Structure 1
Amino acid sequence: MEKHSQLTPRRKIVNPVFHLQTKQEDDKYITNGIVKIVRRTGQLNLANRGLAHLPEKIFTMYNIEKNTTVDYSINDVSEDNQWWTFTPLNYLDLSYNTISELPKQISNFEDLSVLNLQDNCLTSLPTEIGVLKKLTKLNLSHNKLQRLPKDFYKLTELQFLTVSNNELQNVDKDISNLVMLQVLDLSNNLLTSLPSGIGFMVRLTEVNFSNNKLTEIPPDIVNMRALVKLDITHNNLKFLPNFGEMRKLQFLYAQHNDIEELPNFDGCESIKEIYFGNNYIKEIIPEFCETLPHLAVLDLRDNKIEKLPDEIAMLHHLIRLDLTNNDLIALPNTLGLLTHLQNIQIEGNKLKQIRSDIIKGGTFRILKHLREKMDEENSPRCKAEVFVEKIPIYTFPDRYAMRNSRMLNVSVQNLVAVPESIFLDAKKAEVTVVDLSVNKLSTIPEGLQIIANNITELKLSKNQLSCLPDFLSSCRRLQYLDLGNNLFEDLPNALRTLRELKELVISNNRFSKLPDCVYDMENLEILLADSNSITEINVEGLGKLKRLATLNLSNNSINYVPPELGNLKQLRSLELKGNSFRIPRYAILEQGTETILSYLRDRIPSN
């Protein structure tokens, strides 16, 4: 398996030729020193030791009568011999070995709460595993299990269960007995169906059924009302149940199936990201757009969609929209009303009403074109304005609304200031997401300091901001910062402390270079800096960003692309169109990131 092969190098290689260890060799890993540590801590880590068997000494570690290495004289009162001070084994890690059988004596460790058997050669489990009633976390991934024994489903205290990358063909209906489960991963197996009653597992927050052979999802899955993330990618699904009851669902991954129509999401007010790429969806109905007020990412690439409804404008928090490789011949003008939209992908369609140079100009150019067309409508009241009225006009949210969503949202209100009292309420509601976009703010509200320590997402796009206060550097948990469509020329060096930041948007500002503080944001994965006045690319600075995967420098004033940029092999998306350089040629840019980077590397002068 691909994932298995990636993990294999982590194993300890003893000899160049594979050697299956004997029981005697395996027993050598349980030394007197290890026994002392286990007795004191209750934890045993034998990961990556090349074990073919579970060492027999494991089962006598607490049996001092049989331990001949210890002095049991009446004068020996050392801590090692005070059996009443021993901590029962509660943590056992046997991952990354070659164990093919789990002995029945595993039942001796009734106090186990964590058992890791990942990456072994297990083909079955003993029924005695059902005795481990205190298990809360069990990892069985990357083995060769074809079934789980009936007694397995007696592990009713399990909270985290991973059985991915095995050979399971079915799961017993008794899995519904595992009512304490919070995370369930059954991905990369051979499942063709799921048992009814699975919906009784109402504490689940994350479920992964991807890479199986499922043809349907049980309707009672909607009873998982605590579910936040559902992954059903790479199956044979044609239809999905209505998800309306899953009010906490935020992320749905359903790519690479045979789905023909979008399910009903009415009631899924928390959903943020939906992925339906590589299916057979033909249309987006208006009701779909009307029921998803917080949707930020919509991936519908590689489908059969022929038309977008005007109601697309009601997805007013949409940030990314991927319509690559569909059957669209036109885009609705109302798409231009999506004030938060930062990235729209429409390549691979047969659009007739938008010139190719506009499409090549990127998201900003496309949306500007659609807005201009809207203004040219002959009717005194164009249809788009009707949909603007349908978009909710938010007043300052109350504490209950903020506590429910953990979000302070006062976007699109023409605000020039935000009262401090709002931030005091936001602190009591434990708000983590703040949206102040599409207003008339010329300065950052001082009250933001009150919740700075809690913020993970901050949206300030489409205001009149030209500078940021240093106190933003105290937002140490910040992972997403959107400063697009403002008046910034630089950012304060104090922001270099934002080490957790993963995505930074500074598009459509007045930057002549990337701010120096950006190069110290070591966890940055996405940097959107298009449509500025940037004149040069600092390859040395970008080289510090080891996790940078997306870099957009399109529509700037760059006249030279350093060949050394090609050494940034971690980049998965590089946009350079709309600049004044002649090399690489446009034909190279059209072939995508991998071609661009390869081309640049070939131009690096040899010493």
Structure 2
Amino acid sequence: MAAARRARAGDPRAGFRQAEDPGPAVPQGLIRAARKSGQLNLAGRNLSEVPQHVWRINLDTPEEAHQNLSFGAADRWWEQTDLTKLILASNKLQCLSEDVRLLPALTVLDVHDNQLTSLPSALGQLENLQKLDVSHNKLKSIPEELMQLPHLKSLLLHHNELSHLPDGFGQLVNLEELDLSNNHLTDIPASCALLINLVRLNLACNQLRNLPAEISAMKSLKQLDCSKNYLEAVPSKLATMASLEQLYLRKNKLHSLPEFPSCKLLKELHAGENQIEILNAENLKHLNSLSVLELRDNKIKSVPDEIALLQKLERLDLANNDISRLPYTLGNLPQLKFLALEGNPLRAIRRDLLQKGTQELLKYLRSKIQDDVSSPNAEPPVTAMTLPSESRINLHAITSLKLLEYSEKQAAVIPDEVFDAVRSHPVTTVNFSKNQLDGIPARNNFLTSLPEEMEALTRLQIINLSFNRFKAFPSVLYRISALETILLSNNQVGAIDPLQLQKMDKLGTLDLQNNDLLQVPPELGNCETLRTLLLEGNPFRTPRAAVLAKGTAAVLEYLRSRIPA
């Protein structure tokens, strides 16, 4: 703008002055578009500083105004929209100018993934700001003036070097989302109790040894993540948070779980990798809405019969504990789709039965209940046919055509003899169509594809294809709309189609561990029904292991944040 003024004053050097110091390149086309839309995206432009004309975009007369004497309706610069959204992410900024105050209409400011060591106090003057993302920087503190933002709803401070928070944090009364994960915090100010509109609070990966009891005053809180801290206990008042739906306590030093008398809406409880020894009825009896209970890698010795009270439980992870027996009442959980028990010294259940999958195990447990009560009216458990003559196995198709055919049998389960007939023969195609299957048992190391006819299995809810040889996600699965659980771990799957997965509105569990995924498509974050997404053991670089460790909700949120605007 100064060059333009010199040009109007007749300064013969005006044009050369501009060439001497061009500054960071920001295309004029972007600036012009921003004046019309109110949004400016300068992400990933290698900027070490923000050009002055960006801060002054609302104030200075556009350069083209001095060159154009007639303006069409689309070029009336004097009717420009004030900037409301500014994205400066993924640059090399080490500081922000106090001139940020010249953009008072900003509602969104995104400067994540830079090298900021401090924030300007002028941020406190952006009274319309609703979202501030300063994550993935090098901030050691945040200015007190930030507490003056009356309309701030989302504050993202994760992956910085914060060791403390201002005492006045509770002044941000309209906050709905606060992410403080991956910092060096040792305590949370008690004033946070005033954040009564907060819906999501992420405190994972800090150095917290305790939580303030005042946190229970956050009456709107639905998601609380305290994973990977040093918590030995949680305040008893935490159990009174009536709106809480998801609670993450993984990787702490907890010796027991609290009781949850008031958490009627709690749907997910993640407390794996702690030192919990006892799981009793009091921990469970109020959790009527619980769908996910994750307690892997603890020291639990027994599971109470009251586990049967969790009638909405869909996923139960008890892997790597000290459990020697299971309560037979576990078989009465009607919604349970996934049960992890590996790494326990179970004595009463044969290893081969454990390998047959959740539904077979639950069926076995239900049969033991019947044995115990000796009911003469009890229905015998459903079993597979055992006579090869009844199975009508086509050995020629297996050996010559590499086809495993077992269709139109109206069978509820596939007989073991069908799989035994395959033995060492390589099979590339399987036809189980026109049966009454509600699940497919896992059989190691021979499946490489599924027949398109499986689309006819309209009632299929669970499919276990782990430990096979799939190199691609079976496309027919995308068309089975009733599927709730897909287990594809330990294969060679190299890619998935997130747009097709989004259409599967009942899919709650997707296990893709130990495959060959080189990238995870960000659009997978839009699969809103997913409650369990397992991706460990793949060669992709992002999300990083630290993100995966925070659980499904955090992974989906991370992926959504990476979807191109």
TM-score if structure 1 supplies the norm length? 0.62
Contact 1:519 1:542 in 2 (8 A): no
Distance of 2:477 and 2:232 partners within structure 1:
41
> Alignment partner of 2:492: what SS?
helix
Residue 339 of structure 1 aligns with which residue?
334
Distance of 1:277 and 1:228 partners within structure 2:
20
Residue 361 of structure 1 aligns with which residue?
356
Distance of 1:277 and 1:538 partners within structure 2:
30
Give aligned-pair identity as a percent.
Answer: 33
Residue 29 of structure 1 aligns with which residue?
26
Residue 305 of structure 2 aligns with which residue?
310
The 1:24/1:54 distance shift into structure 2, 3 A limit, reads farther
> Alignment partner of 1:148: what SS?
coil
Residue 489 of structure 1 aligns with which residue?
434
Structural mapping, 1:434-583, within 5 Å: 489=434, 506-507=438-439, 516=452, 528-530=462-464, 542=474, 551-552=486-487, 566-568=492-494, 572-573=512-513
Deviations 1:180-216 (A, max 9, x none): 1111111111111111021211111111111111111
> Alignment partner of 2:201: what SS?
strand
Distance of 2:278 and 2:451 partners within structure 1:
43
Distance of 1:234 and 1:359 partners within structure 2:
31
Deviations 1:523-574 (A, max 9, x none): xxx983249xx9x98866616879x9974489xxxxxxxx9x6344776348
Residue 300 of structure 1 aligns with which residue?
295
Gaps of 5+ in 2: 1-18, 377-409, 413-431, 442-446, 497-510, 516-534, 539-565
Contact 1:330 1:353 in 2 (8 A): yes
Distance of 2:245 and 2:20 partners within structure 1:
49
1:174 maps to 2:100: no
Residue 280 of structure 1 aligns with which residue?
275
The 1:574/1:337 distance shift into structure 2, 3 A limit, reads farther
Deviations 1:339-387 (A, max 9, x none): 2222211111112222223222322232233222222226889xxxxxx
Gaps of 5+ in 1: 1-21, 382-463, 467-486, 492-504, 521-525, 555-562, 576-591, 596-607
The 1:35/1:346 distance shift into structure 2, 3 A limit, reads closer
Of residues 17, 31, 48, the one that matches 1:52 is 48
Contact 1:91 1:112 in 2 (8 A): yes
Q: Which amino acid aligns with 2:143?
A: P
> Alignment partner of 2:308: what SS?
helix
Residue 162 of structure 1 aligns with which residue?
156
1:38 maps to 2:29: no
Contact 2:187 2:208 in 1 (8 A): yes
Distance of 1:237 and 1:538 partners within structure 2:
42
The 1:36/1:566 distance shift into structure 2, 3 A limit, reads closer
1:136 maps to 2:130: yes
Distance of 2:63 and 2:335 partners within structure 1:
71
Residue 197 of structure 1 aligns with which residue?
191
Contact 2:267 2:292 in 1 (8 A): yes
Deviations 1:394-447 (A, max 9, x none): xxxxxxxxxxxxxxxxxxxxxxxxxxxxxxxxxxxxxxxxxxxxxxxxxxxxxx
Would you say how many aligned residue pairs link Structure 1 and Structure 2? 421
Distance of 1:282 and 1:537 partners within structure 2:
39
The 1:69/1:359 distance shift into structure 2, 3 A limit, reads closer
Contact 2:249 2:271 in 1 (8 A): yes
Contact 2:433 2:454 in 1 (8 A): no
Distance of 2:469 and 2:42 partners within structure 1:
48
Contact 2:316 2:338 in 1 (8 A): yes
> 1:23, CA displacement in angstroms?
11
